[in-house]
Amino acid sequence: MDTRRVLRTTGTVIAAAGLLLSGCTSGSPDVASASAEPSAVPAGLRPYYEQKLSWRDCGVQGFQCSTMKAPLDYANPGSGQDVDIAVARRSATGPGKKLGSLVVNPGGPGGSGIGYLQAYAGIGYPAPVRARYDMVSFDPRGVSRSSPVECLTGPAMDRFTQVDQTPDDQEERAKLVAAFKEFAAACEQRSARILPHVSTVDAARDMDLLRAVLGDEKLNYVGASYGTFLGATYAELFPGRVGRLVLDGAMDPSRPALELNRDQTAGFDTAFRSFAKDCAKQPDCPLGQGTPEAQGQRLKDFFRKLDAQPVPSGDPARPLGESLATTGVIAALYDESAWPHLRQALTDAMNGDGAGLLSLADSYYEREADGKYANLMFANAAVNCLDQPPAFSGPQAVDAALPSFEKASPVFGAGLAWASLNCTYWPVKATGTAGPLKARGAAPIVVVGTTRDPATPYKWAQALAGQLDSGTLLTYDGDGHTAYGRGSDCIDSAINRYLLEGQAPPAGKRC
């Protein structure tokens, strides 16, 4: 499991109970190839910008769906090689003057925007916002309903998720490398056409097409987690088309993959310490009532026992070993509301029943009861490995970085360091690089950071707000991943005022 990239909001994760996986991604877009104003749309793209969407009933009450065409390769539009972009909306409920469309993205990369809209944003965003905006989302190219990336079969993915990611000897190292190579080769075999064209820059250009075909002069947008990088990339490419942008649980696009992975490792350590302190106050804490350091050592010792001897999980083909258990724990750290579930799952696993932690891991990976996987992990790797060069050149580079990862997190460091090897064997060379995004000339952009966010550390939000010429930082002093719509009246009021009235929070506002 590579936490470097599956950055999703808690709404899409813990609702099902799962989360992250292949890491956060960042990279500097090729600004020169994108025009800043609608009037400057290149001739080859005009047919795409002028297309009309045909809306139909989604089969989910209150929602309509459509399909938008986008060029497979923006450098060669009109070649007959297009991708289908699935779109969904829920019309503004009223009362009040309509403000156009509000496009939302749940993160990932690889998270389904349509699934997020229908399950959460379209019905759970604050009522005043839903009253005046058409709530809109899309599955980015390569994701779910939009020309999806396909890689491993269900049984092969089951095996992949169980591979030991804390190798103890050369044989285990070779098995881990072979697993990453098998994953990459399967993606190339089944998805060669789409793989070179699923970068965040491509998705941002698709988002500008969507803005145009929706009839909006400016893009109004709420992006969570990885969705903040998508939103910031859009602002860099199209600063003159920025409306009201909220970037919640922000990423730092200036940091290369190795630093991002290490930062995120430290973020999960911070989240674990918060969980451990709370756990110690509970009579049923499976890690005892000691310090977070002592509790972390107990958890690490338990992972080692599972490495040597997995426990039954209810699925004979998938006993709970170290890799699945680690994924299950990390999934629950995304949201403090999952802490009771995690306590019970750990208690059960320590008593020989791994079903609870396996369920958390399955929700993180979006594995269905029938053994089929959504394409989250496939799209996640495809986007991440295109957006930046790999964190490591090979196993020896991981060895050199292990001490710094283990310092960042004694519990999770080794596993997350080895998981960062996933892009090393990717069949398509990265097209992006790390670099700051400034979006010069854009309207005010609100960047939201949570002080103890496990997946997107607070310093990333500070960095992004500082990079953006018009960025304003809104701080939530709390736990969990992202802040909007998670129970803070202070955060929600500030963002609602911005979305409805265009008034950004004052600099330095803290909730």
Which domains, from first to last, does the chain contain? 27-149+195-254+444-501 (3.40.50.1820), 154-193+256-425 (no CATH)
Helix (H) or strand (E) holding 446: strand 445-452
Tokens of 142: 């390569």
| Cβ partners under 8 Å of residue 391, min gap 6 | 4, 256, 257, 258, 260, 261, 420, 421, 423, 424
Cβ burial, residue 380 (10 Å; 0-12/13-18/19+): buried
- Pair type for strands 134-138 and 82-90: antiparallel
- What amino acid is encoded at 76 in this protein? N
DSSP 184-240: HHHHHHHHTTTGGG-SHHHHHHHHHHHHHHTT-SSEEEEEETHHHHHHHHHHHH-GG
Task: Write down the pLDDT at residue 41.
Answer: 87
Helix (H) or strand (E) holding 88: strand 82-90
| 3-state helix/strand/coil string of 268-303 | HHHHHHHHHHHHHCCCCCCCCCCCHHHHHHHHHHHH
What CA–CA distances, in Å, run from 211 to 92, 95, 204, 268?
A: 16, 23, 11, 35
Alpha helices in 61-213, H assignment, sequence order: 113-116, 122-124, 127-132, 154-162, 170-191, 200-213
- What amino acid is encoded at 260 in this protein? L
Biggest distance spanned by C-alpha atoms of the chain = 67
Cβ atoms of 342 and 18 within 8 Å: the answer is no
- Pair type for strands 445-452 and 134-138: unpaired
Cβ atoms of 314 and 358 within 8 Å: the answer is yes
- Sign, CA dihedral 473-478-480-486, equals negative
Task: Write down the pLDDT at residue 39.
Answer: 54
Tokens of 343: 């306590």
| Region of 413 on the Ramachandran plot (φ > 0 left; ψ -120 to 50 alpha; else beta) | alpha
Task: Write down the pLDDT at residue 282.
Answer: 95
| Cβ partners under 8 Å of residue 336, min gap 6 | 274, 275, 278, 479, 480
Active-site residue (options: 307, 453, 479, 492): 453
- Cis ω on the peptide bond leading into residue 95 (within 30° of 0)? yes
308 three-class SS: helix
| Region of 446 on the Ramachandran plot (φ > 0 left; ψ -120 to 50 alpha; else beta) | beta
| Closest-CA residue to 112 (of 83, 136, 145) | 145
Alpha helices in 315-375, H assignment, sequence order: 322-332, 339-350, 355-365
Whole-number Å distance between alpha carbons of 21 and 13: 11
Whole-number Å distance between alpha carbons of 70 and 12: 26
Active site residue 481: yes
Active-site residue (options: 112, 225, 363, 420): 225
- Rounded to the nearest angstrom, the gap between the alpha carbon of residue 331 and the centroid of all alpha carbons in its chain is 12
Q: Split the chain (511 residues) into runs of 10 and give each run's mean pLDDT.
A: 45 32 42 45 93 94 97 91 97 94 96 95 95 98 97 98 96 97 98 98 98 97 97 98 98 96 95 96 94 97 98 97 97 94 98 98 96 96 97 97 98 96 96 97 98 95 98 96 94 97 95 97
Tokens of 110: 């690889």
Task: Write down the pLDDT at residue 79.
Answer: 81
| Cβ partners under 8 Å of residue 304, min gap 6 | 322
Task: Write down the pLDDT at residue 80.
Answer: 81
Residue 159 CB: number of other CB atoms within 10 A?
A: 14
Cα 27–Cα 242–Cα 465 angle in degrees, nearest 5: 55
| Cβ partners under 8 Å of residue 59, min gap 6 | none
Active site residue 453: yes
